[in-house]
Structure 1
Amino acid sequence: MDKRHVTSGQPSPSSAEAVALRDINPPKSGWAALLSGRNGVRSLALAGGVVLHAINVYIATTILPSVVRDIGGIDYYAWNTTLFVAASILGSALSARLLARAGPRSAYVIATLVFVVGTFICAVAPSMPVMLAGRLVQGLGGGFLFALSYAMIRLVFDETLWPRAMALVSGMWGVATLVGPAVGGIYAQLGVWRAAFWSLIPVALLFAVLAVIVLPKRSTDEIERSPLPLAQLVLLTSAVLAVSFGSVSSVLLWNIAGLVAAVILTALLIGTESRARHRLLPAGALRITTALGALYATMSLLAVAVTSGEIFVPLFLQVLHQQSPLIAGYLAALMAAGWTLGSIASAGASGKGITCAILAGPMLGMAGMVALAVLMPGESAGGWPALMPICVALVAIGLGVGMAWPHLLTRVFQVAPTGEQGMAAASITTVQLFATALGAALAGMVANVAGLTDPGGIAGTANAAVWLFGLFAFAPILAVFTAVRVVRGYSKTA
């Protein structure tokens, strides 16, 4: 396997010495090694940032139906996710520079405080425009936290622990599935959705205190400082926002205009990135023929499939299947629960097990999306005979992505060009968040055109569910082909 280790600056032992050392002291790669001693403290610190970010995602998803009933703005329903994730892209891209300038401890504290400011704005928002401004600031802080957690894995853990560390960080979304929908659902049912945001602030401040206690002030790894690829970031976020602007209208012409603008901006992004001296992504990341390109394409398509469902599932369940905000929030979180189970179950895989895990992701996602396209639009009284098949489909989508995810991310570190591992670490969240934002914007566009706002009601919502899940089933179908390229490349270097 093509492996690159983080060096400590000490002379490398000879081959014979390396073999002898490995025989005497085999590298520890189990969960005990990751969760005990100093590694356990590091794991707690890295997982904490993702927990904070992820809980907020599920709280917001759960209370959004109540928010729009109170302050209006259903046309901008998907924008709550789109703007949040677009700002998170900027945060993830800036995270490497924040880490280099401030060090791990201060970087996490700064990220948390930015998140707190955004949460405060959301809590006091009197209208949807103010709410969107708050989500923008929240997204910036969340992007910092999310990217810093992944970037630090390469810096503080041995490579043998990377897959399990990736699985642990990804698995924190499972914690969020338990806490987020509960907090959001309870407050929504009590008619005090603002309290859901207020409750996040003391938790975030507690995390900032924890970061000061357990994280080192400075990194022992030399992080390269390079100019910000501003042109690429502007084009990246503009492409997402172009689709978002088009998605607000139910007029097909405006939707097409938004898509065309996004395609043009994406083409400009690819051209600018390929010629840029200071890049946003590692070399070869935007070419599907490269190992990195195939990896990023697979990750993006899987993320798009999950995002398109998660945003609207609570709304569909409340309108079409008579579920309360609390129950609808928990059912929507089944995808994330499946993701967590899949990540933890497959983290220790090796050889052919890794190949099977990577290929299972898009196949299970495709089956789940097709099932939702058939099952979700059917109006029901909310009994479990009608809900159980929907639950199975939601779990299947998340389970597939979770099985593939740790190995896709670990492979990014392994195939990144020499000297660009730091950029590759930051690019993981940049690519994932871009795909998530684009998926959210496209989902909003499809739902609005299909009748979510006009004619609205049960008929419009049912039609939106058919088109949303039906069209987005093509994302995991395409991911099957890119995943095949990934495993072929993996087998050549294994």
Structure 2
Amino acid sequence: MTDIPAATAATSPGRGAKTEPEPRLFSGRNGLFAAMLAGGVVLHAINIFMGGTVMPSVVKDIGGLDAYAWATTLFVVASILAAAVTARVLRALGPRGAYLVAALAFGAGTLVASLAPSMTVLLVGRTIQGFGGGFLYALAYAVTRRVLPPALWGRAIGLISSTFGVATLIGPAVGGVFAQYHAWRAAFWSLLPFVVLFAIVAVTKLPGKAANEGSEIRIAWLQLALLAAAVLVVSAVSLTPDLLLNAAGLAIALLMTGWIGRIERRADARLLPKGAFSLASPLGATYLIIVLLMMAMQPDTFVPYLLQTLHGQSPLIAGYLAALIAIGWTVGTMASVRWRRGDGSGLILTGLFLVLGGIVLLTIFLPVQSDGALPVVIALCASLTLMGFGIGISWPSLVTRVYHYAPPDEQELASGGMTTVQLFASALGTAAAGMVANLAGFADPGGVTGASRAAIALAATSTIWPLLAIPLAIRMARASRREAGDMPREG
């Protein structure tokens, strides 16, 4: 199935025997493939951070403040759908064709967004972008197994994961510089030469379809359609100030999610492993904690706008301050490797309390119009970093629990399900944040008054998610102590 032969083991160390050199990630064809895999993720991730930074400038130019959250929601929903069909596209077209499709979709969406005369057209572009970006992100993990020897898989995945840290530095800079000079369209244009170069390298260097691709992969189309519909219903009702309609939209979304759970129990093609939709199952409780954590992060979508409107920050600085959550997440993840003991229950609980503390700080300082007062800005930096750090130190232990509790024959489904759950929670959280912001007056009356009201509502409602997750984490910690050593231990 692989197009590049795996590294062979060293021969017996007898006289005259030749030892096969250890493969290197950054040399020869391996280096080219590693750069391709990481490069696709960088394009996707830079676009995420850049898009968040330029959105305040976008709405000032073409309007659509009430649809502010839709730019992120549609992007993420499209990414979910793309990630779900990636395996089938890869099997049908091979790495070369799959990456070409991903690059073309990403480039087309970027071009449409850059030329958008209205928010509606921009949302179309962001949706196409999200579809291409979702392909790029999922392909990086799927193609690693095909083009690199097994000895390098771990290092390649580490490289791919670390690219989000790089994007945290580059994305706000790209978006902020162009927004600073009122040229947000150029921020999108600036990505196009890299997309073209990426497509050329993919076509000329990546392997094509293998002769025997194995059996056809089944896709849970009905569950995916319901999942996307649940998010879009919440986003749609967020455009109206009618509280009753908003409540009805949330209820419909919850019913759709419950329907997905019922379908998953008897479906042949499933999104998640068995037990994922049952709170009585440790796996279901773990997935729910992940969903609640991701929901708590999503008001970050509005932070660049609120920092510019209420705290007098430039687009560039606001973009970097908003990226502190991602930076804190990265640092927290690295720290968790050193600090983890036992099954990681302590880190999960600590992380949840840190996230809650960061949100409380945000609730106190974000709504206050400070015009850049240094103490307030420092407090905001601390709150955003604390939120990211909290989720970072808990994340590896949560992922480990998913793999531990998933049935042995569904490990691959558990791995793919992590991406599905994470992206779904991000999209739903962003849609819910858009609903809360608009109900609070983000678009009407808008301006400083609307921004202040929205900031209060967003930060205050975000405390709900970690408060719901903490009792679940305590229950899981007690259950794991009763297991007395079932979980893999690190020390």
Structure-1-length-normalised TM-score: 0.85
Indicate how the Cα distance of structure 1 residues 224 and 116 shifts in structure 2: closer, same or farther if over 3 A, else same: same
Correspondent of 1:232 among 223, 231, 234? 223
Consecutive unaligned residues in structure 2, runs of 5 or more: 7-21
With 218-227 and 86-95 compared, the bigger mean Cα shift is at 218-227
Higher relative contact order (CA 8 A, sep 6+): 1
Structure 2 match to 1:456: 446
Indicate how the Cα distance of structure 1 residues 434 and 157 shifts in structure 2: closer, same or farther if over 3 A, else same: farther
Per-residue deviation, 1:408: 3.0
Consecutive unaligned residues in structure 1, runs of 5 or more: 1-7, 10-27
Structure 2 match to 1:338: 328
Structure 1 match to 2:259: 268
Correspondent of 2:430 among 433, 440, 443? 440
Per-residue deviation, 1:281: 1.9
The alignment status of 1:467 with 2:457, answered yes or no, reads: yes
Indicate how the Cα distance of structure 1 residues 153 and 64 shifts in structure 2: closer, same or farther if over 3 A, else same: same
Percent identity over the alignment is 49
Aligned-residue CA RMSD in angstroms? 3.0
Structure 2 match to 1:5: none
Question: In structure 2, how many angstroms separate the alpha carbons of the residues matched to 1:42 and 1:432?
Answer: 27
Question: In structure 2, how many angstroms separate the alpha carbons of the residues matched to 1:244 and 1:335?
Answer: 23
Structure 2 match to 1:409: 399
Per-residue deviation, 1:179: 0.9
The alignment status of 1:124 with 2:115, answered yes or no, reads: yes
The alignment status of 1:90 with 2:81, answered yes or no, reads: yes
Correspondent of 1:399 among 389, 414, 439? 389
Structure 2 matches for 1:471-482, cutoff 5 A? 471-482=461-472
SS of the residue corresponding to residue 486 of structure 2 reads helix
Question: In structure 1, how many angstroms separate the alpha carbons of the residues matched to 2:58 and 2:218?
Answer: 40
SS of the residue corresponding to residue 459 of structure 1 reads helix
Question: In structure 1, how many angstroms separate the alpha carbons of the residues matched to 2:31 and 2:343?
Answer: 27
Structure 2 match to 1:202: 193
Question: In structure 1, how many angstroms separate the alpha carbons of the residues matched to 2:337 and 2:35?
Answer: 18
Question: In structure 1, how many angstroms separate the alpha carbons of the residues matched to 2:60 and 2:172?
Answer: 18
Question: In structure 1, how many angstroms separate the alpha carbons of the residues matched to 2:251 and 2:105?
Answer: 34
Structure 2 match to 1:182: 173
Structure-2-length-normalised TM-score: 0.86
Q: What letter is aligned with 2:193?
A: P
Q: Deviations over 1:429-452 (max 9, x none)?
A: 111111011000000000111111
Q: What letter is aligned with 2:487?
A: T
Q: What letter is aligned with 2:318?
A: A
Correspondent of 1:493 among 468, 487, 490? 487
Q: What letter is aligned with 2:390?
A: G
Note if contact 1:150-1:425 (Cα within 8 Å) is conserved in structure 2: no
Structure 2 matches for 1:103-182, cutoff 5 A? 103-151=94-142, 168-182=159-173
Structure 2 match to 1:325: 315
Question: In structure 2, how many angstroms separate the alpha carbons of the residues matched to 1:330 and 1:348?
Answer: 27
Note if contact 1:166-1:409 (Cα within 8 Å) is conserved in structure 2: no
Structure 1 match to 2:296: 305
Indicate how the Cα distance of structure 1 residues 59 and 301 shifts in structure 2: closer, same or farther if over 3 A, else same: same
Question: In structure 2, how many angstroms separate the alpha carbons of the residues matched to 1:412 and 1:40?
Answer: 32
Note if contact 1:151-1:426 (Cα within 8 Å) is conserved in structure 2: no
Structure 1 match to 2:19: none
Indicate how the Cα distance of structure 1 residues 160 and 283 shifts in structure 2: closer, same or farther if over 3 A, else same: farther
Per-residue deviation, 1:175: 1.2
Note if contact 1:108-1:148 (Cα within 8 Å) is conserved in structure 2: yes
Note if contact 1:304-1:436 (Cα within 8 Å) is conserved in structure 2: yes
Q: Deviations over 1:406-429 (max 9, x none)?
A: 343354345433443333332221
Structure 1 match to 2:414: 424
Question: In structure 2, how many angstroms separate the alpha carbons of the residues matched to 1:152 and 1:475?
Answer: 35
Question: In structure 1, how many angstroms separate the alpha carbons of the residues matched to 2:151 and 2:392?
Answer: 20
Question: In structure 1, how many angstroms separate the alpha carbons of the residues matched to 2:117 and 2:220?
Answer: 36
SS of the residue corresponding to residue 248 of structure 1 reads coil
Structure 1 match to 2:278: 287
With 101-110 and 411-420 compared, the bigger mean Cα shift is at 411-420
Note if contact 2:367-2:452 (Cα within 8 Å) is conserved in structure 1: yes
Note if contact 2:41-2:163 (Cα within 8 Å) is conserved in structure 1: yes
Note if contact 1:361-1:400 (Cα within 8 Å) is conserved in structure 2: yes
Q: What letter is aligned with 1:206?
A: L
Larger Rg: 1 or 2? Answer: 2
Structure 2 match to 1:390: 380
Structure 1 match to 2:233: 242
Note if contact 1:182-1:326 (Cα within 8 Å) is conserved in structure 2: yes
Structure 1 match to 2:17: none
Q: What letter is aligned with 2:79?
A: S
Question: In structure 2, how many angstroms separate the alpha carbons of the residues matched to 1:434 and 1:46?
Answer: 23
Note if contact 1:150-1:166 (Cα within 8 Å) is conserved in structure 2: yes
Structure 1 match to 2:14: none
Per-residue deviation, 1:160: 11
